[in-house]
Structure 1
Amino acid sequence: MKIKNVTVCGAGVLGTQIAFQTSFHKFNVILYDISEEPLEKAKAKFKSLSEVYKTNLHATQQQVDQTISRITFSTDFKEATKDADLIIEAIPENAKIKKKFYVQLGKIAPVKSIFCTNSSTLLPSMFAQETGRPERFLALHFANNIWKLNTAEIMGHKTTDPKVFDTIVEFAKAIGMIALPIYKEQPGYILNSLLVPFIRSAMALYVNDISDPATIDKTWMKASGAPIGPFGICDIVGITTIYNINKMAADTKDAHAQKVVKMLQENFIDKGKLGVPTGEGFYSYPNPAYESADFLKQ
C-alpha cells in the first residue's frame, strides 16, 4: 500500500499543522473544510508555520515555499477526497459529528482510501461501521506543535487490517513522526491516558478554589523540573478541546466536569480566549508568563 495523496479534513489547529507537516515531507495534500473562512485562516497560519519551521527545523525558504505549493484548499468534499490514498479526519471532538462525517465520507471516497481519525479521546471502534470500510479505518493521533512534539499514536480496532495498520506506522515515520503503535483499544490512547487525569487534577484545584492557575503551574514546574505546567498545556492543546473532553464527562452527570465546563464556558469560550491560537487563554501569547525568568522565583 503506497500513500502519495493525503486529504486532511478539518482546517483547525491540528488539521492545519498535519497538512503542513505532511506536505513538508513531500506528500501531495488537500486541506478540506466546510467553508472558506477556516481555509483562509489556515493560509495565514502557514505563513507563520513557515517561519517556525525555518527557526526550529532549519528549513530553507525554498523548502517552505514548496511545502505550501503542494497544498490545495477545498470546500468540495467529493472533489477533495476523489484521489486520496489517505484521509485524515481532524474535526471537532464530538461523537455525533464524527459519525455523520464518516457516513458521508464512506459513500464518496475511493475504495483505495484509508481513513484515520485524529481523535484524542474517542475510540476508532465507535465509528468503524459508519465508515463502510472498518478494515481500512484506525486512529492516527498527533500532539499539538506537531513539528516539535512529533508523536503519532497509531491505534486500530478489532477488525483493522494489520497491513493497513503497518502502512500507517510507516506513513507516520515518513512525515517525521515518532510512531507509537498501540496494540489494543484504550480510551485516551497513551498520551491522554496520562494527560487527562493530570489536567483534571489541576482543574479541580482551580475550580474548587484551592489555588490559582499560575501557582498550580509554578508548583508543578519547580517541583518536577517540567518546562510547563498543566494550565500552560491547556493553552497549547486549546481551550475548546479541554472543554469538549469535559463536556462529554459532564453529559454523564460528572459533577466535577460540569463545574469545569461552566467555568471554561463563561470565562474562556464566551470571551474568545481559546489558548495559544487566539493569543489568550490562561496566559497571554506570545511570551506567556511561565516562560519568563522570574516566574519560578520567590
Structure 2
Amino acid sequence: MQSTQTIVIVGAGWTGRQIAGQMLAHGLCVLLCDPHEPALKSSKDWILEHLEPMADEGYWPKTSREQIASQLKLSSIEALLSGASDLQNVELVLESVPEQAALKRRLLKQLSEVFSQDTILASNSSYFVPSTFSKHVRAPERYAHFHFHVPIWKATVVDVAAGPETAPQTLQRLRSLALRIGQTPIVQTVENSGYIFNAMLKSVLQSALQLLDRSVADPACIDLAWTKATGMPVGPFGIMDQIGLDLMLQTMSNARFVEGDQVWEPLIARIEPLVAQGHLGVKTGQGFFKYQQ
C-alpha cells in the first residue's frame, strides 16, 4: 500500500474524526465527508489541535500541521456521491455514520455504485453484522466491517469482520491497513453482533445499568467497585461516557429489536434523559460523570 492512496471516511462525528486523525498521522491521505459543514470544520480543527499532544504522549507519529493539512480534504456527502470529489486512487471507503440500519443501508448502496470494484467498501458499525448490509452492496466480495474502538489512540484494536461473500483478499488488505496505522486487527470470519470485545462488554454494561436501575448503587460506586477489583483505569459508566451515550442509545435500541423490550427498555430509560439534555459523555464534557474538556 502506497502513501499516496486515499481513505474516504463518511461521517465526521466523534469516531469519524478519530479514525481520520489516526490515518493522517500514519501518512495516509484522507477525504473526510459529512452532510454538515460545521462538523467537517470541527473535525479538521480537532485533528490539527491534537497532533502535538498525541505525538508528545507517543500515540501518533510526530508530524507537522502543514503536512496533515495537505493530506486532508473535506467534502459534502452530496459532492462525494455525485463524483465531484477527487475519487482517484481510493483504497478504502469507510462509513462511520449513526448506528441506524436504514441510513447505513442506503448510504452503502449509493457508495457501492460510485466507487470501482477495486475499492474496498466497509462499515464501522459497532453492532450490526456485515450481512445486514452486504446484500445491498454492488460487488459484495469487496465489502467487510472495519470497526474501531474509542478512544482509538488508546484502544488500539480494530475488528475486521467478513460477511458471507467477503473475499479473503479484502480481509487481508484491511488487516494490512490496520497494522499500518498502529492498530491490532482482530479478524473474524463468523458473524457475531458486537464482534468479540463488544459482545463481552455488552454483558458488563448491561449488568452495571441493571444495578443502577435497581438502586443497588450509583454510577460512581459501581465504577469504583469495578476499577478497584480489576485494576482497570475506568469502570462501566466511564466506558459508556467514552463511547458516547448517543451511540450507546442507538446500539441498545437496535439490541431491543433483536432481544426484546423486557431487558432493554428500563436500561434505555436510564440513558435517554441524558442524551435529551445533550450530555453525551466525554465528547460533550458531561455524561454519567463530568469532564474537563
Q: Does the alignment reach a TM-score above 0.5?
A: yes
Could you tell me which residue of structure 2 aligns to residue 100 of structure 1?
106
Provide, for residues 187-229 of structure 1, a one-character-per-residue CA deviation record: whole Å limited to 9, x for no partner.
1111101111110110111122221000000011111211110
| Aligned equivalents of 1:55, 1:145: Cα separation in 2 | 17
Whole-angstrom distance in 2 between the partners of 1:59 and 1:126: 34
Letter in 2 for 1:235: D
Q: State the one-letter code of the partner of 1:280.
A: Q
Matching residue of 1:255: 262
CA distance in 1: counterparts of 2:203 and 2:71, whole angstroms: 39
Q: SS in structure 2 opposite 1:135?
A: helix
Match of 2:249 in 1: 243
Count residues with an aligned counterpart: 286
Q: State the shift of 1:256 in Å.
A: 3.0
Equivalent-residue separation in structure 2 for 1:281 and 1:58 (angstroms): 25
Structure 1 Cα separation of the partners of residues 129 and 2 of structure 2: 25
Give deviations 1:91-141, integer Å, cap 9, x for gaps. Answer: 111111111111211221233211111111111111002111210000111
Q: What SS does the aligned partner of 2:136 have? A: helix
Give the alignment partner of residue 132 of structure 1, picking from 138, 141, 155.
Answer: 138
**What is the SS of the residue equivalent to 1:21?**
helix
Superposition deviation, residue 77 in structure 1: 2.0
Residues 12 and 146 of structure 1: is their aligned pair in 2 closer, same or farther, counting only changes over 3 Å?
same
Partner in structure 1 of residue 179 of structure 2:
173
CA contact under 8 A between 2:26 and 2:60: conserved in structure 1?
Answer: no
Give secondary structure in 2 for the equivalent of 1:38.
helix
8 Å contact from structure 2 (residues 48, 68) kept in 1? no
> How large is the Cα RMSD of the aligned pairs?
1.9
* 1:77 aligned residue: 80
Helix, strand or coil at the partner of 1:131: coil
* Equivalent residue in structure 2 for 1:224, among 225, 230, 255: 230
- 1:1-298 matches, within 5 Å, as 4-57=5-58, 62-75=63-76, 76-78=79-81, 79-80=84-85, 82-83=87-88, 84-251=90-257, 253-266=260-273, 268-286=274-292
Retained in 1: the 8 A contact 2:25–2:63? no
Change (3 A) 1:69 1:2: closer
- In the superposition, the TM-score normalised over structure 2's length comes to 0.92
Q: Is the 8 A contact 1:82 1:108 kept in 2?
A: no
Change (3 A) 1:136 1:81: farther
1:77 maps to a residue whose letter is L
Q: Which whole-Å CA distance do the structure 2 matches of 1:50 and 1:208 have between them?
A: 43
CA–CA distance in structure 2, aligned partners of residues 53 and 192 of structure 1: 25
Question: 3-state SS of the aligned residue for 2:147?
Answer: strand
Shift of 1:81: 6.7
User: Structure 2 vs 1, CA of residues 211 and 80 (structure 1 numbering), >3 Å: closer, same or farther?
Assistant: farther
**What is the TM-score of this pair, normalised by structure 1?**
0.90
Q: Tell me, yes or no, if the aligned pair for 1:81 and 1:110 is still in contact at 8 Å.
A: no
Please state whether the residue corresponding to 1:85 is helix, strand or coil. strand
Find the aligned partners of 1:231 and 1:144 in 2 and give their Cα distance.
14
Identity of aligned residues (%): 30
Aligned equivalents of 1:178 and 1:102: distance in 2? Answer: 25
Q: Where in structure 2 are there 5+ consecutive unaligned residues?
A: none
Worse-superposed segment, 41-50 or 95-104: 41-50
Partner Cα distance (1:80, 1:7) in 2: 10
Q: Which moved more, 1:40-49 or 1:187-196?
A: 40-49
Preserved contact between residue 7 and residue 80 of structure 1 (Cα < 8 Å): no
